[in-house]
Amino acid sequence: MRTLRLMVCLPLLFVAFCASAQIKKDSTSAERPKGTIETREWFKRKGTFFFYWGYSRDMFSNSDIRFWGDGYNFKITDVRALDEPDPISKEYIGLTSFTVPEYNYRVGYYLSDKVYVSFGEDHMKYHIVPQTTHLTGSISKEANGTAQIGTYNNQEVLVGEGSDNNMGASIIQALPQGFVQGFEHCDGLNDASFEIGRLEQIWMSKNGKDALSVVGGVGAGLVVPDTDADVLGYPPKHDMATGKKSYHLAGYSGSLHIGLQFDFCKHFFLLAKLKSGYINLPDILTTTTGGKASQHFTFIEGQLVLAYTFSFKKHK
């Protein structure tokens, strides 16, 4: 959690630094004689489109997750989750595998040299790890006999024990388990969002083909996860063995972003972007028997993307 807070503070400090630099520039320009016109040149973007593709890493806050279905209704609290990055390999450049890692793409349009709108997707991944949590609720049916049947009031239990993160021998394995052996949005936690943003130029080359700018903006989106959940032994809606997916509009998102954009060769830019936001998923599909879940959490995402800019108009 300390790391999460630090990552939130860093972009704020960066903005403050850039704002301080801008104030100094403004104070210098204020010394010009009244009536003179500022001749500062801006990188030309108005009327152009851009498309970018890149990859990311994600961090998530802890969350409470509620599960319900035929014969059960319970909640597990303060659950910790991680993203699932793929190791650096040819998957990132393979024609059939470049969409396997956590990726980001976006198409946008510059309303002016400074303001843009865009639409795209952040393909994040989310999975809980083996951990202790507290369970509250009731279970009158389950698929593995009768071990989990009962009424619980803040009972300490083990969850995530069936995930890929093998914790080895541990004293916590003696706790009651088998409630939620696995829970992940790893194919993935897909946030399709609309963003509006603004650029503030820091530097531009004399030939007008390269520039460095601070980027910031806001966004809102719809979240369509493919959830793989092992709840009380019931068959999951997502079946990795048969390739069956469970994409479903489960909720919505809101976000803020800030970054540093380097435009080069007139038609390309490299963007390092930090995005933070909130995701609410009230309608997650979990099992083939009609089971569902709900949760909400905050996230921080670091992105590195490469873009190409273009226009359908011929410039004179």
pLDDT tens digits, 240-289 = 767 788 899 999 999 999 999 999 999 999 999 999 999 999 999 999 99
Highest mean pLDDT out of 30-34, 242-246, 301-305? 301-305
pLDDT at residue 12 is higher than 60: no
pLDDT tens digits, 112-128 = 999 999 999 999 999 99
Mean pLDDT of the chain: 86
Assign 89 a pLDDT band (cuts: 50, 70, 90).
confident
List, in order of start, the domains of the chain with CATH numbers.
Answer: 2-29+48-310 (2.40.160.20)
pLDDT at residue 157 is higher than 80: yes
Give me the DSSP letters along the chain: -HHHHHHHHHHHHHHHHHHHHHHHHHHHHHTSPTT----------TT-EEEEEEEEEEEE--EEEEEEETTEEEEEEEE-EE--PPPSSGGGT-TTTTTSSSEEEEEEEESSSSEEEEEEEEEEEEEE-SEEEEEEEEES--SSSSTT-EEEEEEEEEE-TTSS----S-GGGGS---SEEEEEEEEEEEEEEEEEEEEEEEEE-TTSS-EEEEEEEEEEEEEEEEEEEEETTPPBSSBTTTTB--B---EEEEEEEEEEEEEETTTEEEEEEEEEEEEEEEEEE-BTTS-EEEEEEEEEEEEEEEEEEE-SSPP-
pLDDT, average across residues 290-298: 97
This prediction's pTM = 0.85
Q: Compare 198 and 33 and report the one with higher pLDDT.
A: 198
**Tokens 């080359």 sit at which residue?**
205
pLDDT tens digits, 224-235 = 999 999 999 999
Lowest-pLDDT choice from 36-40, 140-144, 265-269: 36-40
Q: Compare 174 and 1 and report the one with higher pLDDT.
A: 174
pLDDT, average across residues 38-51: 85
Highest mean pLDDT out of 54-63, 162-171, 201-210? 54-63
